């Protein structure tokens, strides 16, 4: 476990944040949350996070957000998808 305020702790926080944002992005605001999840995951991985699995999942979920966005734009011309469809 990393000490509070260390670089590793910040990277761990970024990994968890990317995972959470990636999950939320599948439901709402994927145009914003997807890229944010990708950037945070990349930063966490670059800083050698102890939560590598969460960072990788955040990266994959962020990419999935962007794929969902591309499909939604291709199907009905919307810019963002949400729970209401």
- Confidence (pLDDT) at 16: 95
Please count the other Cβ atoms lying within 10 Å of the Cβ belonging to residue 68.
Answer: 17
Higher per-residue confidence, 17 vs 4:
17
Give 26-61 pLDDT, tens digit per residue. Answer: 888 888 999 999 999 999 999 989 999 999 999 999
Please count the other Cβ atoms lying within 10 Å of the Cβ belonging to residue 66.
Answer: 16
User: What Cα–Cα distance (Å) separates residue 23 from each residue in 2, 20, 39, 47?
Assistant: 25, 5, 15, 22
Task: Extract the tokens encoding 14.
Answer: 């970024």
Length of the chain: 85
């Amino acid at each position: 476990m990393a000490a509070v305020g260390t670089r590793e702790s910040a990277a761990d926080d970024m990994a968890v944040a990317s995972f959470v944002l990636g999950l939320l992005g599948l439901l709402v605001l994927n145009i914003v949350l997807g890229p944010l999840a990708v950037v945070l995951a990349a930063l966490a991985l670059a800083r050698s996070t102890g939560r590598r699995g969460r960072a990788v999942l955040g990266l994959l979920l962020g990419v999935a957000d962007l794929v969902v966005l591309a499909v939604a734009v291709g199907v009905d011309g919307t810019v963002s998808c949400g729970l209401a469809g």
